[in-house]
Structure 1
Amino acid sequence: MHEILLCFRVKFYPPDPLRLKEEITRYQVYQQLKRDLLYGRLCCTPGEAALLVACIVQSELGDYDPEIHEGNYISEHKLLKTQTPTIEEKAMELHQGQLKGFTPEQGENYFLRIASQLDTYAVDPHPVKKKHLVGFKCPTATNCRHVWRCAIEQMLFFT
């Protein structure tokens, strides 16, 4: 038998993830947004990307320790779709200074606060052809049905 990979995703993002009562739910939203950042679904400026990466590093590695974190220690981790040395350098500065002393939970909450304020937060991008005010064309009929179903589910969930 072949291995089967099953991935769970957040379907409806909360307007303010920090107001979620359950810690595990906040953590799951954090994990989804981290994945969205990695796959390019959570678009942001290089400065915002550096801050988000620094939050992830603080949450996962803890405070900066010069004996453990040598050289460009962020380059070892793939956290962004378009991860550049400039963003890594800025993220290291933020990790070593601004985020020093944050617990893993505080780092995750700060990440959630920044991510939830981005324009592409809770946006699920779909590939389409031809931009119009009235409509657009999808590459296949299957893609079209998926986009339609997502739009209807979003509308029904929030009304």
Structure 2
Amino acid sequence: WTDLFDGTVEENISVGRAHITPRDVRDALDDLSLTDEIQQLPQGIQTEITNAGRTLPTHLASKLLVAQGLVGRPRLIVFDDYFQNLDAASRNLIIKVLTDRNRPWTVITVSHDPQLLAAFDRVIVLEKGRIVREGPFSELRDDPMCRSLLHETPMTTGA
């Protein structure tokens, strides 16, 4: 995902990608339960975002960034421990959307967050670029090596 920029909500989600349709943008907003909140803005989806979104509530700016990544239903989504600054409701919704088995994408993330890791089908622990542990988080969480990594070094996950 890129940063938010000066432009409309719609432009910030589509980020100039010609293949993204207005329907794709609406679908991304729906996926993240943002449609009603965006419609409440002064000009709805055409509302101008300024100051890189710093004037928006944090949860809204964060969800718009996620919408950038989801729009057009990509096959692969990669992010780096994105959820630290989100409120619990926003965080849970985004994790649910990203890990929904009915979605067409694979998600790869780097994280040391047990709640996030537990949402993925598979966790891969890397050391010096090599896989040293692999499996569902429920099996890895009690492994002494993995337990220590939860607090010190990010773990990589995929769904």
Give TM-score scaled by structure 2 length: 0.26
Q: Relative CO higher for 1 or 2, CA cutoff 8 Å, sep ≥ 6? A: 1
Give TM-score scaled by structure 1 length: 0.26
Structure 1 or 2: larger strand share?
A: 2
Greater Cα radius of gyration, structure 1 or 2 = 1
